[in-house]
Structure 1
Amino acid sequence: MDAQPQTTQRLDQEARDIMIRNDRGGYSVPTHGLYPYQWNWDSAFAAIGYAAFDMDRAWIELETLMAAQWHDGMVPHIVFHEVDPGYFPGPDIWGGVGPVPSTGISQPPVAASMALRLWDNDPEMGAERFLPMFDGFVRWHRWFMDWRLHDGAVCITHPWESGRDNTPDWDGAMANLIPRDLGEYQRRDTGHVDASMRPHKSDYDRYLTLVAIGHEARWEQGALHASWPFRVADPTMTFILLRAHRDLAELGRRLGRDVSEIESWIPILEAGAETLWNPELKTYDVRDTLSGEWSCCVSNASFLCWWAGIDRAEMLPHLRRVNRAVRFGVPSHDPESPAFEAKRYWRGPVWAMLNMLIAEGLDEFGYDDGALLRQNTARMIEENGFAEYFDPITGAPAGGQNFTWTAAIWLDWASPRAREENRWAG
């Protein structure tokens, strides 16, 4: 059941207020304190939230993100617009070489898909605002094709690049990475959020080891490609980039641009996605390209196949099984797995923005599961607020609070008002 009108109105206003408070004048922070900078895929989702009440501000979010693009085409995962000592590791540790201080890795390129959503919401402004960004988006997508493919699947070179920092999907590959002696360092995240909801120190030792290696090489992709010690083929990246290629091609056609190069990338990733099919587990799975080993995990990223335009019927039993095991789906890791942790970041919690992508993919293939997931996500937010993520068993809010992308997902998709305005296709 959808929320009562007065509840919807209250939550709509609360979500708008959160986005306004997290606006830093041209870019959004995910939440005050814990994440004081501009994050790549967070900003893409923030844009669709702004579109519910300020279309100009929505486009500015993407324009600011793309202004940080590196000369090689990469768009970084964090842009350090202002130095904030409350965050670690900051720009001095990363040593990024872009036009704005930034990290040396990217993030799931959902931005083209969100740009198409903005255009659809306001066709008159779409062409004018997206045209100056189109070539930059093509260069970013080409960067993934040049530097991140393995047998056609998209790889990550750091757990943070996937956006799913500490998922059990990386456990095997991370165990094979020997951390450096980094000396003493002070994490800042556990000063904002209970440590039981964050990655372990052993994870951070490896995260920072990878940052140090990249910094020493000045993030030169050619040099790093041959010797990088962590390279994992990832459903998150593969499915999101595949959908983004399709959507960027559509944007290009609307602009009257030649999209033949973009269209040529689509079958490469379609074939690459099938290399992520684990036949024993019957799921899309992570594969360590250095060892050849599967992670043997069912994650919420596994269900992004429909968002990418791939209808794999064998995934439906997994989806329904994991959702039956919890009160709120989709958990980020299989609740029947011994590695499942209900409140620890990407080892179990529910994330509203991935729920939206999964549900909309299901909608596009005509599965009722998509509408049920939207209703379930809306109820989770109604009962527990705008947290970064949620305990799938109890619904308890976890991580950062007053979170931009959760507010944005409510405004664009989960709110009953959004459905009435045809923001939701189900």
Structure 2
Amino acid sequence: MDLHEQARQILRQNDRGGYTLPTHGLYPYQWNWDSAFAAWGFATFDLPRAWDEIDTLLASQWDDGMVPHIIFHDPDPGYFPGPDVWSAGGDPATSGISQPPVAATLVRLIYEMNPDASRDRLAAVYPKLVEWHRWWHEVRCVHGPAAIVHPWESGRDNCPDWDIGMANVDGSKVGDYTRRDTGHVDPSMRPKKSEYDRYLAMVQFGKSVGWDQKRIVSEGPFLMADPGITFILLRAHHDLAVLGHALDQDTDEIEGWETTLRAALPMIWNDDLQGYDAKDLRTGKFARFLGSGAFLAYLANAARPELDTQLMRVWNAVPYGIPSADPEAPIFDARRYWRGPTWPVVNSLLAIGFRDMGRADLEVRLRRETAELIMKNGFSEYFDPTDATPCGGANFTWTAAIWLTWAGQDYEQAKGAA
């Protein structure tokens, strides 16, 4: 079967009517940033369905503006931690944290595919996106850069960036539990139990304060400035303002958020690392680790010459895509989730940045390497960047979406010319 058609089929198979599963078994609910990428993929062949995805995601927005990271539409006992563990309320129930705010950036890409057909749909979701961005500004950016209160909020759950903050979280009292993820995927590709204990301790703290987000920021066991979300949010502020202009809205507030956040970038620049770095806001210490979150600076037009040097060193160390962690670091693990593998979804965000800064050479190279991964080993969640081994879940929604929107571009053109 043609790869484009395979990708469309994956989206259709994971479609639950208004929302899309990341993949069967491993992730049986609607995930925030996965859903935004799914919408981008649907927009290549079913524009109304793409907007339905965004509508369903934003329908579970909290009263304070937060859009949660998981929406538990239908009960699934095969997933842990489920809605009973979170106890965050909602109908449908949700988790109590957020996820990378890529939605405005992807909504802009979807809108620009067909502005005339999309204007009314955009007008319906725009105010909700503004409220979500306001929540990020007022609740998670109080220390300057965007901060996370749980590694899961970053989307890059177990990346080495969080080790310094995780070390101060007591996971010894979480009680007994049974993980479900390792029943679907090789445990060597997933976070370790010691990490999971701490993840659950953070969930239990949030539950203990009734998911009061400001208390979680001020009192919770974990608070780290996240370069990845900082850059994603910075770019999303810009894209949201562009959408506001398209709707003839006053965007002064949004542009003010962008200016304020950009002014905070020096706080996460680590001269010793010669790169952007995660920072433990409880202790003021840098993670001292270079990961893919730092390279998302290209998405936000925030790169520096020193970062260019680091990017090429890290990228040239592997043959397939940009790894999620520095391959030259002792902690690098080529197949364990966010501690080394390359992720097509992150590659696509980096490529948007390369394209917009006029670096077609970097964008073309990254697209070619990402396409090679998919053409060799299918639509997996992520890949070993050293040998292209597929890792994580199979038939993955956002990998299929990335193929349709970006990675498969040359393949489709070649097929059409044949």
Q: TM-score, normalised by structure 1?
A: 0.95
Residue 279 (structure 1) aligned with residue 271 (structure 2): yes
Q: For 1:363, which of 329, 351, 355 is the aligned residue? A: 355
Q: For 2:104, which of 93, 107, 112 is the aligned residue? A: 112
Contact 1:77 1:105 survives alignment (8 Å): yes
Secondary structure (helix, strand or coil) at the match of 1:79 reads: strand
Secondary structure (helix, strand or coil) at the match of 2:147 reads: strand
**Structure 1 counterpart of 2:397:** 404
Seen in structure 2, the aligned counterparts of structure 1 residues 196 and 365 have a Cα distance that, compared at 3 Å, is: same
Seen in structure 2, the aligned counterparts of structure 1 residues 420 and 129 have a Cα distance that, compared at 3 Å, is: farther
Residue 229 (structure 1) aligned with residue 221 (structure 2): yes
**Structure 2 counterpart of 1:390:** 383
Secondary structure (helix, strand or coil) at the match of 2:282 reads: coil
Residue 323 (structure 1) aligned with residue 354 (structure 2): no
Seen in structure 2, the aligned counterparts of structure 1 residues 417 and 48 have a Cα distance that, compared at 3 Å, is: farther
101-110 or 214-223, larger mean C-alpha shift? 214-223
**Structure 1 counterpart of 2:13:** 21
Residue 174 (structure 1) aligned with residue 161 (structure 2): no
Deviation readout 1:111-153 (Å, 9 max, x if unpaired)? 0111000111111122110111111111100101111114420
Partner letter of residue 383 of structure 1?
K
Q: Quote the offset at 1:417 in angstroms.
A: 5.7
**Structure 1 counterpart of 2:292:** 300
Partner letter of residue 379 of structure 1?
E
CA distance in 2, matches of 1:332, 1:225: 26
Contact 1:97 1:218 survives alignment (8 Å): no
Secondary structure (helix, strand or coil) at the match of 2:153 reads: helix
Residue 211 (structure 1) aligned with residue 203 (structure 2): yes
CA distance in 2, matches of 1:239, 1:222: 22
Structure 1: 5+ residue runs without aligned partners? 1-8, 422-426
**Structure 2 counterpart of 1:135:** 127
CA distance in 2, matches of 1:132, 1:85: 34
393-402 or 266-275, larger mean C-alpha shift? 266-275
Q: Quote the offset at 1:99 in angstroms.
A: 4.1
**Structure 2 counterpart of 1:6:** none
Contact 2:149 2:217 survives alignment (8 Å): no
**Structure 1 counterpart of 2:54:** 62
Contact 2:217 2:223 survives alignment (8 Å): no
**Structure 2 counterpart of 1:351:** 343
Partner letter of residue 388 of structure 2?
G
**Structure 2 counterpart of 1:52:** 44
Seen in structure 2, the aligned counterparts of structure 1 residues 284 and 58 have a Cα distance that, compared at 3 Å, is: same
CA distance in 2, matches of 1:132, 1:364: 28
CA distance in 2, matches of 1:39, 1:69: 13
Q: Percent identity?
A: 52
Partner letter of residue 391 of structure 2?
A
Q: Quote the offset at 1:184 in angstroms.
A: 1.3
Deviation readout 1:261-319 (Å, 9 max, x if unpaired)? 10110111111222111111110110001111111111111111111122322111111
Contact 1:29 1:38 survives alignment (8 Å): yes
Partner letter of residue 352 of structure 2?
E
**Structure 2 counterpart of 1:249:** 241
Residue 35 (structure 1) aligned with residue 27 (structure 2): yes
Partner letter of residue 387 of structure 2?
T
CA distance in 1, matches of 2:173, 2:206: 16
Considering only aligned residues, what root-mean-square deviation do their CA atoms show, in Å? 1.4
Deviation readout 1:44-68 (Å, 9 max, x if unpaired)? 0001100111111011000000000
Q: Quote the offset at 1:172 in angstroms.
A: 1.1
CA distance in 2, matches of 1:388, 1:274: 33
**Structure 2 counterpart of 1:313:** 305
Deviation readout 1:226-262 (Å, 9 max, x if unpaired)? 2111000001110000000000011011111111110
Residue 266 (structure 1) aligned with residue 258 (structure 2): yes
Secondary structure (helix, strand or coil) at the match of 2:66 reads: coil
CA distance in 1, matches of 2:345, 2:186: 22
